[in-house]
Amino acid sequence: MAASSLVAVVMPRLSDSMTEGAITAWFKKEGERVEAGEAIAEIETDKSTVDLEAPAAGVLARIVVEAGSGNLEVGALLAEIDAGAEVKSAATTSSKVAASASGRVAAASVAIPAAPAAATPIHRPAEASAAASVRATPLARRMAAQAGLDLATIAATGIGGKVSKADVEAALGIAASSAAPASAAARAASPALRAVPAKAPAAAPSGTPEPPSRIRRVVAERMALAKSTIPHFYLAVDCRVDRLLEARERLKADGESISVNDFVVRAAALALVRVPDANASWTDKGIVRFERANVAVAVALEDGLVTPVVRDAGSLGLAAISATIRELAAKAKNGGLAPSDYDGATFTVSNLGMFGVGEMYAIVSPPQACILGVGAAEPRAVVDGGQVVAATVMTLSLSADHRVLDGASGARFLAEVRRLLEEPARMLL
Amino acid sequence: MSAAVERYDVAVIGGGPGGYVAALRAAEHGLRAALIERDRLGGVCANQGCIPTKALLRSAEVFALARDAESFGLHAGEVTFDLAAIVERARQTAARMEKTVEVLLRQAKVDVLRGTASLAGSGRVEIVAGDGSARTIEAAHVVLATGARPRVPDALRAAGPRLWTYREALAPPALPASILIAGAGAIGVEFASFFRAFGCEVTLVEMLDRILPAEDEEVSEAMRRALAKRGIRVVTGAKVVAVEEAKDGVSATVESARGVERIACERLLAATGIEANVESLGLEGTRVVVERGRIVVDPFLATAEPGVYAIGDITGPPWLAHKASREATVCIDRIAGVAGVRPLDPTLVPACTYSSPQVASVGLGESAAKQAGRRVRVGKTSLVGNGKARAIGDTEGFVKTIFDAETGELLGAHMVGPEVTELISTFALARTLEATEAEILATVFPHPTLAEALHESVAAAFRD
């Protein structure tokens, strides 16, 4: 492109008194072909608005002054036309129509991309790398954390492929919160699909439905999922806990307040280390064995159940486990649990003993493979050396995912827990 | 009849902010587009609505400032005005906008056809020009964007030539000594503000129990006080049931729970809503459903008739130009096969009233949020404490934000005061981005600005 073929487009003197003008709009883009005399821009002076005509035919090589620029002196360089160039391929720069002059009108033009937008991915590919930071809106991120959901498992349909509030709600099975006014909802009804009005439903049992709290909704969703996808089997053992209760009394005398449940969590953690089959998870890609035993402890709140996690419980002493559980329970009751407090559990202990329940069979919490249900420690009649004697007995149950464990592994695990609880000194080994 | 029938990919009926944006968008996608307009390009927005009224209100604003010059240390003597010049400026602004739309359409190579269009079956559109000649075009997709017109209750019609709608009100030949404005939505309130600024006796009558009924209750209350302070008589829970011609004007019978009152005025402005232009479109015989005067569409603006779409005021509220324009984009992108087109979420559409003081809002009001069952946090900050508001001498107003107490979602923002119609976009952006209070609080707002009140409002919501 020879420099000498460049023709300058300057601000014309439209009247004797004119000293300056403004460019309000460019009709042509850089790279576009223009004919001599063709209107290529709109100029505004204090007296009038006129079209700027191209002084020569060629390609609009360079726009020097953007649309919306004012105070341009007569003779100021506005653009350059290459009178000798070939037509360039479709301009890549978006139209420079003034945004300032006509506010609303031009904004429409500026917003339009030169070519249809590339297809926005509707679903975020479900990568296994949970460590990668997931793109999500701040609101979605917080909602997922509150519900204990892993962002990476949620399909993203938000702007730019981010996980949005609607996506989190869909994952929770909540109908999109109807924040829109009723008229909009009516508008959204698709007339073509409108069915024949349904007959009035048969009289339903009376009672006003109460919208569930967020926690309850999450629990409901997860329990339904767990029960329908995990093949559960159940094992139970009765543990004689007299020695455990004595040990507990002795520690109390030392000023250490350890609960029976703390002992159970400690025993379960140790057993998980010794019988690793139970510290695993079924995934689409295969069985994952966890390195550490992160034991979740079920805490009942007024409006639902939460399960904060004691991390690496296998390497924590009894006192540390006790303190951690106490801290987590307090946090839970104040609604102060952070996502890190309930992420990453590999096993769960659920205790209903305080209610006097003898045996309980819990539901496995995916992606874990097992859950230990704990009943009340109560005096029962047992047979010892051919005699019926009174002892304090606590029933433990194991609910397990049969895809990951078979009966024998489950039994081995449960037997180990019982061994440790019946003789607490073994927990010192 | 012309011999060959022109074929288009998209034919848009109506050249307002819905229609012309649709036509431009279609052209951007490389679709062959036609736009049929029977009057002025730019529609009501450019010619009889948004644009000219904002120009008029600017004159009112400057007039008020000029008259208050002393408080800024200036001597302006007696400031007078020339109504014809004020009206002419608004007219010229409108004409400029009309021209700009024409230029944009020409640049995009959209065929602009003049005349009245109607559906003629199977993708055909019949166009009758001003001289009575008719032609037919064919289009794979027809977008109805015919907008709306003022709705005038029968009771008001008896005012005869004394009756104004916004069309007459924005080009008054003379200022009425007194004016009764029926309807206190955005249009009624804006005109009340305008006419009062130039000294007219203004009575604003609203059927519902508060003015600006679509806004948050606190906004309605603040505006009622603000307008009353300016000498506008505000009557709520009242309806004009009859009008009689009287000497130099009309006598309006206004009924309310308090009883019956007769109000005499020189002019009566009907600002009682609008009705969609759905007549004579040839909808009979098609599957297009019209309910309560509006065309029913799905979230992507398709009607029940395949190949026929409707956008803007003819589909219902919010009756706003930017809603029409966004619907145009959604509709055309979908037609063009763009993947991932998101329907318009009406709770993301801000609403503005350019009275003095201004009003702006986006999202849910406090009552609506609570009725939807959300536990909320509300923050309200008065502009009295805002440094910039003090410095410019206009502290009348507030910023109110409503958050979901559990998730921190910004549910709604409501403001009264100077320039709030500009400030609302910050909150509109926050809602689109699904920001929570954390992101807004983490943003540094420059000082001194009115915008700082946005930050302060959010902080107030999360204090304690």
Q: What is the pLDDT of residues A252-272, one digit of tens each?
A: 898 888 999 999 999 999 999
What integer pLDDT is reported at residue B358 of this predicted model? Answer: 98
What integer pLDDT is reported at residue A103 of this predicted model? Answer: 37
pLDDT for residue B344 is more than 90: yes
- Report the percent of chain A where pLDDT is more than 90: 36
Please report residues of A whose CB lies closer than 8 A to that of B363. 179
pLDDT for residue B403 is more than 90: yes
What integer pLDDT is reported at residue A134 of this predicted model? Answer: 82
B270 pLDDT band (50/70/90 cuts)?
A: very high
A4 pLDDT band (50/70/90 cuts)?
A: low
Q: Express the helix, strand and coil content of chain A in percent, nearest 5 each.
A: 30, 25, 45
Annotated active-site residue A402? The verdict is: yes
Does B25 contact A187 at a Cβ distance shorter than 8 Å? no
A386/B275 Cα distance (integer angstroms): 93
- Report the percent of chain B where pLDDT is more than 90: 96
Please name the member of A102, A164, A183 whose beta carbon is closest to the beta carbon of B316. Answer: A183
Please report residues of B whose CB lies closer than 8 A to that of A101. 100
Question: How much is the average pLDDT of B103-129?
Answer: 96
A127/A153 Cα distance (integer angstroms): 8
A91 pLDDT band (50/70/90 cuts)?
A: very low
A370/B97 Cα distance (integer angstroms): 70
Answer left, alpha or beta for residue B288, where phi above 0 means left and psi between -120 and 50 means alpha.
beta
Q: Where are the alpha helices (DSSP H) in B205-253?
A: 217-229
A64/B288 Cα distance (integer angstroms): 50
Strand partners, A42: A25, A51
Please provide the size of chain B in residues. 464
**Closest C-alpha among B92, B56, B95, B76 to residue B175:** B56
B248/B121 Cα distance (integer angstroms): 51
How is residue B66 written in tokens?
A: 């000029």
8 A C-beta contact, residue B408 and residue B429: no
Identify the residue with better confidence: A200 or B371.
B371
Q: Of chain A residues 85-104, which have a CB less than 8 A from chain B?
A: 97, 101-102, 104
Q: Give the DSSP letter of residue A376.
A: E
Taking only the tens place, the pLDDT of each residue in A167-196 is 999 988 775 544 443 333 333 333 333 334
The H or E element containing residue B86 is helix B83-107
CA distance B434 to chain A (A): 5
B125/B147 Cα distance (integer angstroms): 18
The winner for highest mean pLDDT among A156-160, A354-358, A384-388, B452-456 is: B452-456
Taking only the tens place, the pLDDT of each residue in A380-427 is 999 988 999 999 999 999 999 999 999 999 999 999 999 999 999 999
A341/A349 Cα distance (integer angstroms): 15
What integer pLDDT is reported at residue B241 of this predicted model? Answer: 96
What integer pLDDT is reported at residue A183 of this predicted model? Answer: 37
A188/A182 Cα distance (integer angstroms): 10
Question: How much is the average pLDDT of B45-60?
Answer: 96
CA distance B43 to chain A (A): 12
A14/A352 Cα distance (integer angstroms): 91
| Average per-residue pLDDT for chain B | 96
Residue with tokens 């904002």: B54
pLDDT for residue A128 is more than 80: no
A306 pLDDT band (50/70/90 cuts)?
A: confident
The backbone torsions φ and ψ at residue B374, rounded to the nearest 5 degrees and listed phi first, read -90, 140
Please report residues of A whose CB lies closer than 8 A to that of B409. 139, 165
pLDDT for residue A301 is more than 80: no
Sequence-ordered list of residues with C-beta below 8 angstroms from that of A368, at least 6 positions apart, any chain: A281, A296, A345, A346, A347, A348, A401
Please report residues of A whose CB lies closer than 8 A to that of B338. 116-117, 119
Q: Express the helix, strand and coil content of chain B in percent, nearest 5 each.
A: 35, 25, 35
Per-residue b or e along A167-202, where b marks 16 or more CB atoms closer than 10 Å to that residue's CB: bbbebbebeeeebbbeebeebbeebeeeeeeeeeee
pLDDT for residue A116 is more than 50: no
8 A C-beta contact, residue B301 and residue B309: yes
What integer pLDDT is reported at residue A101 of this predicted model? Answer: 40
Calculate helix-pair angle for B19-28, B321-335, nearest 10 degrees: 30
pLDDT for residue A130 is more than 50: no
**Closest C-alpha among A315, A317, A323, A262 to residue A293:** A315
How is residue A416 written in tokens?
A: 């180990």
A121 pLDDT band (50/70/90 cuts)?
A: very low
8 A C-beta contact, residue B349 and residue B318: yes
Question: How much is the average pLDDT of A329-348?
Answer: 81
CA distance A151 to chain B (A): 16
Find which of B25, B29, B100 to mutate to test the A interface (most A CBs within 10 Å of its CB).
B100
**Closest C-alpha among A271, A303, A165 to residue B433:** A165
Does B21 contact A158 at a Cβ distance shorter than 8 Å? no
Find which of B47, B103, B370, B402 to mutate to test the A interface (most A CBs within 10 Å of its CB).
B103
What integer pLDDT is reported at residue A99 of this predicted model? Answer: 36
Does A179 contact B337 at a Cβ distance shorter than 8 Å? no
pLDDT for residue B400 is more than 80: yes
Task: Specify the pairing of strand B249-256 against strand B238-246.
Answer: antiparallel
A215 pLDDT band (50/70/90 cuts)?
A: low
